[in-house]
Amino acid sequence: MNSPRIVVMAGSSRREALSRKVAAACIAPLAAAGADVDLVELADHPAPLYNGDLEVESGLPEGIVSLQQRLAAADGLLVVNPEYNGSITPLLKNALDWCSRPNPADRARSGGAVYAGRAAAVVGTSPGALGGMRVLFHVRDILGYLGMQVIPQQLAIGKAGEAVGDDGCLRDPAQREALDKLAQALVDTARRLRR
Alpha helices in 26-130 (DSSP H): 27-32, 52-58, 62-72, 90-99
| Residue ranges of domains in the chain | 5-193
Structural contact between residues 68 and 74, judged by C-beta atoms closer than 8 angstroms: no
pLDDT for the residue numbered 1: 57
Task: Kindly state the helix (H) or strand (E) to which residue 18 belongs, with its residue range.
Answer: helix 18-25
Structural contact between residues 6 and 36, judged by C-beta atoms closer than 8 angstroms: yes
pLDDT for the residue numbered 116: 96
Give, for all 195 residues of the chain, the pLDDT tens digit: 589 999 999 999 999 899 999 999 999 999 999 999 999 999 999 999 999 999 999 999 999 999 999 999 999 999 999 999 989 999 999 999 999 999 999 999 999 999 999 999 999 999 888 888 999 999 999 999 999 999 999 999 999 989 999 999 999 999 999 999 999 999 999 999 986
CA 114 – CA 146 distance, rounded (Å): 9
* Burial group, residue 125, by CB count within 10 angstroms (0-12, 13-18, 19+): buried
Structural contact between residues 111 and 102, judged by C-beta atoms closer than 8 angstroms: yes
CA 18 – CA 32 distance, rounded (Å): 23
Task: Kindly state the helix (H) or strand (E) to which residue 160 belongs, with its residue range.
Answer: none
CA 26 – CA 24 distance, rounded (Å): 5
Fold of 5-193: Rossmann fold (3.40.50)
